[in-house]
Amino acid sequence: MQTQQTPFIDSDLLIQSVGQIFNLRPQEIQAQKEKINLLIDYAKLMTDDHTTEGLKWAVRALQGRVGTPPLGEKWLSYLSKYAYIKLESMELQKEVEKYEHN
């Protein structure tokens, strides 16, 4: 039986790589690390491909799904807000299911 192993990805390199989607400079990436990590966590739930390219693809797919941010709002802020809300709603749904299945 063969299993597909996900290659080890250095988290700092992954953060840099995802930050480049938004044309951020290295200093900006460090300042926005929390938002980028939130998007990475979201992407990991949305795809089985946890390679750098697979996760970047999931973030780009999210851009297409949610549409253009409101005037004056940056892509990173807009998408990280969505990812936060989505992750929280998934967690709340799990909690609700615990009660419903007892």
Query: Which pair of tokens denotes residue 83?
Result: 């990812």
pLDDT at residue 101, as a whole number: 74
Distance CA 38, CA 45 (A): 11
pLDDT at residue 8 greater than cutoff 60: no
Tens digits of per-residue pLDDT, 21-38? 999 999 999 999 999 999
Distance CA 94, CA 81 (A): 20
Q: Where are the domains of the chain?
A: 11-100
Query: Which pair of tokens denotes residue 17?
Result: 């790589």
100 pLDDT band, cuts 50/70/90, is confident
Average pLDDT over residues 6-32: 87
Give percent above pLDDT 70 in the chain: 90
Report the sign of the C-alpha dihedral through residues 16, 19, 25, 30, in that order.
negative
Burial of 16 (0-12, 13-18, 19+ CB in 10 A): middle
